[in-house]
Structure 1
Amino acid sequence: MRPKLTDVAEKAGCSPTTVSRVINNYGYISQKTKDRVYAAMRELNYQPNTLARSLQGKQTKMIGVIVPSITNPFFAELVAKIEEQLSDDGYKMILCNAEQDSIKERQYLRMLEANQVDGIIAGSHNLDIEDYRRFGLPIVSFDRDLASSVPIVGSDNYQGGCLASQALVDAGCKHIYFIGNPNKTGNPTFYRFEGYADTMAKANLTVHTARSAFYESPSAKAAALKELLASERKIDGVFCSDDMTAILLLRVAKNLGIKVPEELKVVGFDGTQLIQNYEPDLATIVQPIGDLAGMLVKLLYERIADPSKPLAQNSYLLPVKLLKNQTI
């Protein structure tokens, strides 16, 4: 006899309402209670009635998308493009905003498992492949190398680093700083830094770095940028690893009376439509967001159709381009 929600509630020692809230990630539920509910679901092999696949193995037509920050314009635009593609194909999307929290990301994975999504597009950087493999769902990764069995789609971050840095060199800059996190191997920012460093070496220029991770508050980041510009007056060029940091830098430079581009030249990275519309002067590296979304969805469909099929290739790097504007 197929288990019911009430069976799960009885085994977990809680009410059916609590089980429903856990499944749908609604309201506050203690982690201890969540763990009991998920354990009961696994032991009983329970599938939520509202979204479960039929006994014939039909799909739920739902996809989970996990991103690090929905407030970041790049991820907001990428998610919008993914949702548009999924909707056109008859799928619904469950969006999970993991932030920089591994516990939250793991909870989202449990929720997606409970709702029996057909597959996952993972773009966060908190967990490794073992956490995803345990749930046994088809997965495609954005800008994150999980495993040889998981296709990864991303922009050519190294090429972007080279393009941005070369633009500053060509503009006559001699003291060029990279602002971002150059230390985390596997992170997109690391490859942008590698492109910057190699370009500096070819131009016989010194590598300068100033760490500025995107999860820091804008006020803290602005204070750090102010300290940098005020103390390092030789800076004449900056490659920022994202556009939001570049915009903050321009604001700080203006407050300090530093003229852009006469005294300081700046290049960002991402090139979302929002930034192009509201900060049209910013020179930036443009990622092909529409193409990235299309490739992620296409590859996920292939994994859903046949998860055991060998990959034609593991990594898909899409080209970026330099958008030259008034800041260089």
Structure 2
Amino acid sequence: MKQKSITIYDIAREANVSSATVSRVIAGNYPVSEKTKKKVFDLIEKYDYQPNAVARSLTKKESKMIGVILPDITNPFFAQVFIEAEKYALTKGYTLILCNSMNSSELESRHLRVLSERQVEGIIFMGGRINKTHPEVSEINELKYVIEKIPVILVNGRMETLECPSISTNEAKGIELIIDHLVKQGHTKIGLIGGMTGITTTDIKVEAFRQNLEKHKLAVVDSWQIYSGYDVKRGKEAMEEMLEVNKHNLPTAIIGINDLVVIGALKLCHQKKINNFSFVGFDDSELTQNSIPEITSVSHPYNELGEKAVDMLIKSKTTDSKAENLFIDPHLVVRESTI
């Protein structure tokens, strides 16, 4: 026979006190006599009573839930940051709620509304509108409205008009590490493929790419920098364009805006039986170690991004200090594709 669930009213009845008194004992922030406390706690232990989490959250104004909005959970970067944040949040007693916007601004808006209505204690936001060079005014205002109600932490993105904490990888430093490495390997003709103009992470990498070529007094050839997108298919297309447009003057090393783009470029070269390029990715996802050849790639500080995002959110609940914007340097993991 199934045992009846013990309620706060059962505890109150057996302790011969009101349910409000039991609530006060559990909350621990109201004066209750030591004798009554002991009686209530003894019964809680006797019946292994677990206070309802929702009711407790209403009393304490704490849900211990953090919303995470990201554009594409299949993208290795977003997935890895989420995993690191979730592992760390659990050690702090928090649960993460994943909201995948599928690269839709409308879905982002819906997630923002639902999360703020469901009393999460804050939101960690990645990708989407915070990576647009020129976001819509409505997108800015919508996020601003949410920030006035609950803390929001931005990961690898910014909205210049918002006073909002953020944490980012220093992606310009990542490109610098790549080009320094390629130059040491003897490359003087370097190309860049993937990404989209108007997306801040791409714009940062493209600008750093050109600046670092100039720093090393290397040629900046417009046709060696090709926008295409962020997935394997777009990588294949970009590499095909690179080969077609630069038939008589190809670079010897290719940088991908991320690892997926490099995988696509490698697939095309394999199909065409071309193996005279060095390739470097960005993100250091698991794909880099399972590719042939294994891919040299810039590694984000995933642990720090996830953990500090959670810490910043928890801190922002209790402080009105000026929003901080942290930048963390990545490192380069050298593998077969550039050796």
Corresponding residue number in structure 2 for 1:120: 123
Q: Which residue of 2 aligns with 1:9?
A: none
For residues 93-172 of structure 1, the aligned pairs below 5 Å read: 93-126=96-129, 128-135=139-146, 136-146=149-159, 147=161, 149-172=163-186
Deviates more, 1:105-114 or 1:167-176: 167-176
CA distance in 2, matches of 1:117, 1:162: 39
User: Which residue does 1:31 correspond to in 2?
Assistant: none
TM-score by length of 1: 0.76
TM-score normalised over the length of structure 2: 0.74
Q: Which residue does the alignment assign to 1:320?
A: 330
Instruction: Give the corresponding residue for 1:83.
Output: 86
User: SS of 1:64's equivalent?
Assistant: strand
Q: Deviations over 1:166-220 (max 9, x none)?
A: 22222222321111336326x1222122221111112222323100222x6x435
**Distance verdict in 2 for CA 1:125–1:194, change over 3 Å:** same
CA displacement at 1:65 relative to structure 2: 0.4
Rate the CA distance shift 1:52–1:199 in 2: closer, same or farther, 3 A: farther
* CA shift in 2, pair 1:176/1:182, >3 Å: farther
Residue in structure 2 matched with residue 226 of structure 1 by the alignment: 240
Report the secondary structure of 1:65's partner residue. Answer: strand
Report the counterpart of residue 238 of structure 1 in structure 2.
254
Q: Percent identity of the aligned residues?
A: 26
Alpha-carbon distance in structure 2 between the residues aligned to 1:193 and 1:52: 51
Asked whether the equivalents of residues 69 and 100 of structure 2 are also in contact (C-alpha less than 8 Å), the reply is yes
Equivalent residue number for residue 283 of structure 1: 296
One-letter amino acid of the structure 2 residue matched with residue 284 of structure 1: S
Cross-structure match for 1:212: 228
Residue 322 of structure 2 aligns to which amino acid in structure 1? P
Q: 1-side partners of 2:257 and 2:180: how far apart?
A: 15
How far the C-alpha of 1:125 sits from its partner, in A, is 2.2
Distance 2:263 2:55 in 1: 46
Q: What number of residue pairs does the alignment pair up?
A: 270
1:63 to 2:79 alignment: no
The residue type paired with residue 166 of structure 2 is: I
**1:310 correspondence with 2:326:** no
8 Å CA contact 2:154, 2:166 repeated in 1: yes
* 2:268 aligned residue (225, 236, 252): 252
By percentage of residues, which structure has more helix? 2
Give the Cα separation in 2 of the matches to 1:231 and 1:188.
25
Unaligned 5+ segments in structure 2 are 1-51, 130-134
Q: Could you tell me which amino acid in structure 2 is paired with residue 324 of structure 1? A: V
Query: For the pair shown, which has the larger CA radius of gyration, 1 or 2?
Result: 2
CA contact (8 A) 1:159 1:192 kept: no
When the two chains are superposed, the root-mean-square deviation of aligned CA atoms in Å is: 2.2
